[in-house]
Structure 1
C-alpha cells in the first residue's frame, strides 16, 4: 500500500500537480487516493527524505519550492555523476553494450509521433543506461532521483532544444566507443552546463505555466523504464 501511494504522490510532485510551495491537504489527498492517513503519512515522510516534499512542524507537509540555487545544485550533482559514469563506461562498457545503446538511438531518432515527454524519457534512458555501466548502484539511484526532481524544468527547457539532444548523445557514445575518456567528459560537460546556465529562465517559465496560465495541461511524464521496456 505504501509503495503504491509513494509512487502516486511522487508522480504528482514531479509534474507539479502538487504545486511548489503548496500545503498538502492530507484529508483531501487521502480521499483522492482512496487511502488511510497512516500509510499516506508514511509515504509523505519518505518523500521528505527523497527531497520532493518538505515538512514544517505545526503546519504540515508542503510540495517543495525550488530556488535557482537549489536547481543549480541538482544540475551540478547530475554533472558530477555523469562525468564519473562516462569515465567508467570507457573502462568497463563492452562493445556489445555500446552497440545496443547506439541501436536504441537509431530506433528513437526523429520527431514524427514523438511527444516532448517521449523525448525526455529517451534522454533519461540514455544517461541512466551509461550510469548503469559503472556498476555503482547507489550512483544510479541518485541519478534517477535527481532526474525526477528536475524533470519538469528539463521538460520546459527541452522544448527549445529537442532537435539537438540526439546529436549530442551520439557524440558522447562515440567518444565512449572510441575509449576517449577526456572527450566523453568534455562532451557531457557541454551537454549539461549549457542547460544549467539557463536555470533562471527555466524557473520563470515554469512559474508562469503553473501559476499564471489557466489553460496549462500538466505533462504526462513516463519513466524511461516504462517507455523503453
Structure 2
C-alpha cells in the first residue's frame, strides 16, 4: 500500500543538509524554535526530523538538553574512513565475482567521462558528487542492498571531509577510479583490493590539516553548505513543476 510521505520529510532533508555540511557549527546547540521559524514550520516536524538525524549520527542528543551539532574531530573522521575501507573492500570482492562484463564496461565509460582535475571550488563540488556516484555504482554492482545503504551513509557522513580534501589538494588530485575499474575488468581481485585500499588511505594522511581547514571553512564561508541548499531548492522546484 502506498502512503503519503511524512510532512517532516522535506524538513528532515533540509536540517540534515545543514548538519552534514556544518551549517550548524560544531558544538552549537540546536534551537528548535528558531529552526522552526527559519523553515516556516511548526516545532513538531522539526523535532521529528532532529530525532531521526541524531539517530543517524549527524547531531548529538543529550538528555534534558536537546540537540547540538556534531563535533568536527580527527577521531570521528578516522573511524569513518576505517569503516569505509572495511565496507568497500568487501564490496569490491562481490563486484569482482558478480558484475557482468557489460556492467563493468558501463562503469569504465562513467569513469572516463569524469577524469578532469577540478581547479575551482565549484568544480571540486562536482568532483565530490562524481566520486560519491562512482562508489554507489560499485555498490549496486555488488548486488547487495545492504552494501548500497552503507556506502550512502558513509558518503553522507564523510562528505564534508571529502569536500575539504578535494578543495585543498585539487591541483594534485589523483583519480584512481579508472585503474580500479581496469582491475575489475581483468578480474584481478588482489589488484582491486590493493587499489581500493590505497584510494581510501590516500586521504588519511592529511586528516589534521583537514580539521583545521574545516574550521576555517565553517566560520569564514561554507561553500558546501551553500551548494547543498541550492541543490535542495532546485530539487523542490522541479518536483512542484506542473507535468
TM-score above 0.5: yes
State whether structure 2 residue 236 is matched by structure 1 residue 218. Answer: no
Residue aligning to 2:217:
209
Q: Match for 1:187 among 185, 188, 195?
A: 195
Which secondary structure does the structure 2 equivalent of 1:61 belong to?
A: strand
Q: How does 1:129-168 map to 2 (within 5 A)?
A: 129-159=137-167, 160-161=169-170, 164-166=173-175, 168=176
Q: Match for 1:71 among 66, 74, 77?
A: 77
Q: Is the 8 A contact 2:124 2:170 kept in 1?
A: no
Q: Distance in 2 between matches of 1:86 and 1:164?
A: 22
Q: Structure 1 unaligned segments of length 5 or more: list them.
A: none
State whether structure 2 residue 27 is matched by structure 1 residue 27. Answer: no
Residue aligning to 1:46:
52
**More off after superposition, 14-23 vs 153-162:** 153-162
Q: Residues 114-171 of structure 1, C-alpha deviation per residue, up to 9 Å, x if partnerless?
A: 61110000001111110121122122112111111111111111120465443x1100
Using the TM superposition, give the Cα deviation of residue 35 of structure 1 relative to its aligned residue in structure 2, in angstroms: 1.5
Q: What TM-score, normalized to structure 1?
A: 0.90
Q: Is the 8 A contact 1:15 1:218 kept in 2?
A: no
Query: Which runs of 4 or more aligned residues in structure 1 lie more than 6 Å from their structure 2 counterparts after TM superposition?
Result: none
Q: RMSD of the alignment, in Å? A: 1.9
Q: Match for 2:14 among 8, 24, 31?
A: 8
Q: Is the 8 A contact 2:96 2:189 kept in 1?
A: yes
State whether structure 2 residue 114 is matched by structure 1 residue 108. Answer: yes
Q: Match for 1:89 among 95, 114, 117?
A: 95
Q: Structure 2 unaligned segments of length 5 or more: list them.
A: 1-6, 236-243
State whether structure 2 residue 130 is matched by structure 1 residue 122. Answer: yes
Which secondary structure does the structure 2 equivalent of 1:115 belong to?
A: helix
Residue aligning to 1:200:
208
